[in-house]
């Protein structure tokens, strides 16, 4: 299996949305997807300014097989940037062949090249295959932290 990873381009927006929907379906969260091609294009490939996030795509031969979407954050304790992996998804037919690991290693190299002090992501509690995979790479859960979120109407009330 010949795999390649490359940065996404504006022409890849439909494919990125397809991967986002595939991940959401796997996570039983498809009903929460509001993203559309126009919004993805505006935020990932803006005409002016910096993108809100970055995306890399994985291909097996010429077939789209997976993606990783990430952004940079900042650690005040380290006084260094960090890389936050928002989404990682490999199509079912390509799982178990090292593509997820290749995507993670690609991002780890990106984080090191940017001087990041850490790379983080979240995983659903029930996703044991992903948890096992991440731990096999040496990643450690941060169980002392609880994620909180403001979204939708609750967030808008503070506008």
CATH of residue 48? 3.40.630.30
Three-state DSSP string of the chain: CCEEEEECCHHHHHHHHHHHHHHHHHCCCHHHCCCCHHHHHHHHCCCCCCCCCEEEEEEECCEEEEEEEEEEEEECCCCEEEEEEEEEEECHHHCCCCHHHHHHHHHHHHHHHCCCCEEEECCCCCCHHHHHHHHHCCCCCCCCCCCCCCCHHHHHCCC
Which pLDDT does position 146 carry in this prediction?
87
CB neighbour list of residue 78: distance below 8 Å, 6 or more residues apart: 117, 118
Q: Residues 130-137: what's their mean pLDDT?
A: 93
Q: How many domains does the chain have?
A: 1
**Residue-range definition of the domain harbouring residue 81:** 3-156
Give the whole-angstrom CA distance, residue 80 versus residue 74: 6
Catalytic residue among 84, 134, 148, 158: 134
**Is 147's pLDDT higher than 90?**
no
Which burial class, exposed, middle or buried, applies to 113 when counting CB atoms under 10 A from its CB (0-12, 13-18, 19+)?
exposed
pTM above 0.75, yes or no: yes
Cβ atoms of residues 59 and 4 within 8 Å:
yes
% of residues, the chain, pLDDT over 70: 99
Which pLDDT does position 38 carry in this prediction?
98
| Structure confidence by residue, pLDDT tens digits, 24-61 | 999 999 999 999 999 999 999 999 999 999 999 999 99
Question: Is 134 designated active site?
Answer: yes
Q: Residues 98-122: what's their mean pLDDT?
A: 96
């Amino acid at each position: 299996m010949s795999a390649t990873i490359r940065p996404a381009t504006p022409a890849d927006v439909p494919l990125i949305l397809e991967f986002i929907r595939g991940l959401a379906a796997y996570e039983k969260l498809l009903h929460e997807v509001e993203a559309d091609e126009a919004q993805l294009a505006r935020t990932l490939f803006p005409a002016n300014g910096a993108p809100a996030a970055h995306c890399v795509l994985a291909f097996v031969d010429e077939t789209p097989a997976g993606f990783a979407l990430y952004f940079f954050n900042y650690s005040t304790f380290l006084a260094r940037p960090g890389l936050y992996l928002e989404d990682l998804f490999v199509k079912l037919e390509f799982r178990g062949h090292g593509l997820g690991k290749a995507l993670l290693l690609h991002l780890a190299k990106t984080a090191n090249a940017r001087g990041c002090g850490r790379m983080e992501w979240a995983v659903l509690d029930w996703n044991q295959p992903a948890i096992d995979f991440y731990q096999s790479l040496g990643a450690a859960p941060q169980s002392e932290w609880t994620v909180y979120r403001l979204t939708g109407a609750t967030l808008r009330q503070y506008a």
